[in-house]
Amino acid sequence: MRILLVEDHLQLAASVAQALKGAGWTVDVLHDGIAADLALSSEDYVLAILDVGLPRLDGFQVLGRLRERGNNLPVLMLTARSEVKDRVYGLNLGADDYLAKPFELSELEARVKALLRRTVLGGERQQSCGNLRYDLETRRFSLDEQLLTLTSREHAVLEVMIARPGRVLSKEQLAAQVFGLDEEASSDAIEIYVHRLRKKLEGGAVRIVTFRGLGYLLEAAGE
């Protein structure tokens, strides 16, 4: 799953991005509000982390524009401001959560997981399809209660698919969640990852079905 991080403090942005990438998410990092507004209007994300004090457009303005476009993307605001009125203002604009600076990276990761659990997984800690299980807290997949060993790319593809069970996902949709802004999104690479995943899911009660010209569907075997 792909996250947008917008933070103008370069060292903090690098630390947060490293922690999120280490947890397995694809992360795009931007440093000003104009760039963030453009990315949010053209790219596909599951979550945005916005600093309030951004140059060119502040975090509140970026959030306001996002909601004016009818986009309900979950947004976590980062702020050094302690005033209640600022937090209330952001929440009224449509922020989903707030985290005050300074913060521990472990708390940020926990907030991200909680938001994604609520918005992507419908409040459930686990997602399942057949005998495939995904635990959002540990971010691990298991098949017949045996942990699956996956590369980061394979994990990213399967994470997107199990979050949308019964839905056909195009190569472009999958690539949009797997590759960041600084990477070349490759449909051919998605084919390779899906092929590898099929091999690793063999023998289980779950399969990836190809719909030619449309994309891929994760479903329980026998459906």
Decide: 49 and 6 in contact? Cβ < 8 Å. yes
Q: What's the fold here for domain 2-119? A: Rossmann fold (3.40.50)
Q: What angle do CA 217, 205, 159 make, to 5 degrees?
A: 45
From first to last of the 223 residues of the chain, give the pLDDT tens digit.
899 999 999 999 999 999 999 888 899 999 999 999 999 999 989 999 999 999 999 999 999 999 999 999 999 999 887 677 888 888 899 999 999 899 999 999 999 988 988 877 666 678 889 999 998 878 899 998 899 999 988 999 999 999 887 889 999 999 988 888 888 877 889 999 999 999 999 888 999 999 988 999 999 986 5
SS (H, E, C) the chain: CEEEEECCCHHHHHHHHHHHHHCCCEEEEECCHHHHHHHHHHCCCCEEEEECCCCCCCHHHHHHHHHHCCCCCCEEEEECCCCHHHHHHHHHHCCCEEEECCCCHHHHHHHHHHHHHHHCCCCCCEEEECCEEEECCCCEEEECCEECCCCHHHHHHHHHHHCCCCCCECHHHHHHHHCCCCCCCCHHHHHHHHHHHHHHHCCCCEEEEEECCCEEEEEECCC
How many Å apart are CA 21 and CA 118, to the nearest integer?
21
Domain ranges of the chain: 2-119, 126-220
List, for residues 72-97, the tens digit of each pLDDT value.
999 999 988 767 788 888 889 999 99
Kindly report the CATH class assigned to 126-220.
mainly alpha
Backbone angles phi, psi at 43, to 5 degrees: -110, 165
pLDDT tens by residue, 99-116: 989 999 999 999 998 898
